[in-house]
Amino acid sequence: MNSGPPSVTPGLLYHEAKAAIEWLCRVFGFEARLVVAGEDGLVTHAHLVFGNGGVMLSSAEGYPFPDMCRSPRDAGGAATGEIIVYVQEVDAHYVNAVKHGAEILIALEDKPYGGRGYCCRDPEGYVWAFGSYNAWA
């Protein structure tokens, strides 16, 4: 496996980007590596890491390409995909997500392809799937 940076990194838009950063770190275990503040309390760019991957995000307000990307809130509340994250201790991760109010869409379960996992929605509507199955091993 490549020891360099991840080859794929999702970019997400949040209306409450500062709150989203705090929530993603506290509830899902991300670490804020870089947060670039913009005008009026907006986030121009943030890089959150998790294991050897992560996500980048910014405030939805002022995003320069509104016809290219939208937040779930701006798309009528529906996410158009899910962000899939490998976690070793998925049972503990699930307990923490439930404790902090993540909207559980699929409860923690054994998967037919191996491992365990669950699916939830964050406060702004993004769908996240966490599981112990490592498709890349």
| 3-class DSSP assignment, residue 17 | helix
* Fold observed for domain 1-65: 3.30.720
pLDDT score for 1: 47
Q: How far is CA 35 from the centre of its chain?
A: 15
H or E, element range at 19? helix 17-28
Quick check: do 1-65 and 79-137 share a fold?
A: yes
User: By the 8 A CB rule, do 80 and 68 touch?
Assistant: no
Check whether 131 has a pLDDT greater than 70.
Answer: yes
**Cα separations (Å) of 64 from 9, 36, 60?**
19, 16, 9
Average pLDDT for 7-30: 95
pLDDT score for 65: 86
Q: Which of 77-81, 103-107, 116-120 has the lowest mean pLDDT?
A: 77-81
Average pLDDT for 106-128: 96
pLDDT in tens, 77-95: 888 889 999 999 999 999 9
List CB contacts of 27: < 8 A, sequence separation 6 or more: 96, 97, 100, 101, 102, 122
pLDDT in tens, 24-83: 999 999 999 999 999 899 999 999 999 999 999 999 998 888 888 889 988 888 888 899
Check whether 2 has a pLDDT greater than 70.
Answer: no
The CATH number given to 79-137 is 3.30.720.110
pLDDT score for 120: 97
Domain residue extents for the chain: 1-65, 79-137
